Amino acid sequence: MKKPIIGIVGRPIVSESGRQMVATYLEVCEVITAFGGIPLQISLSNINTLTKEDQENIIRIIQLCDGILLQGGSDFYDYDIFVAQKAHELDLPTLGICLGMQTMACAFHGELGRIKYHQSLKKYVHQIDINPQSQLFKILSKQQLMVNSRHQEVVLNTDLYVCARSEDGSIEAVEDTNKKFYLGVQWHPESMISYDLDARKLIETFINCCRH
């Protein structure tokens, strides 16, 4: 069985010694590997105000990939937006997680709003309601889902299809049903794999879609 290459958009961080780095969460790599994929970090030295050469380099990298994962983090940059838009244009299976979902939403005329910082280590934090007409519903076959939650911003609006909301009306998932797999979720399924079947089903469906 083909092992799909999953391009993970690297997150810029600063090490304890003050050195600038580009990183991928080990947990994300482990989940991709566990479900039969090959993680590949997408990195650039320039993350804002992309030149034409920068854009060409990104395109060359993502053309090596069978799918794209936009991981969580604190801030997204021009290159995150460009990857999200180019993956959509190429109909490359794409999964956005937390900040990754926000990136996808903003890549299509979305807007973010601040909330009181929410960081929880609980297995489940709140319930979401899934639109039964959505691809997310087709994957999970349920309208209600309990999720974890650790984010400081929410999507206020986007041109993408809003397929799930939390109990207070906040956007929890967005997608484009006209694509093979273009789905972003506000929660962290990669952290729920060991105890939640729905998280496993979501990741497994994404990886399998990347095989074709």
Report, as residue numbers or ranges, the catalytic residues: 98, 188, 190
Report the distance separating Cα 146 and Cα 184, nearest Å.
16
Give the residue carrying structure tokens 């090490």.
15
Q: If residue 59 lies in a helix (H) or strand (E), which one and from where to where?
A: helix 52-62
For residues 56 and 60, give the distance between their C-alpha atoms in angstroms, rounded to a whole number: 6
Residue type, 95: L
C-alpha to C-alpha distance for 79 and 113, rounded to whole angstroms: 21
The residue to which tokens 């879609």 are assigned: 209
Half-sphere exposure of 112 (CA within 13 A, CB side): 20
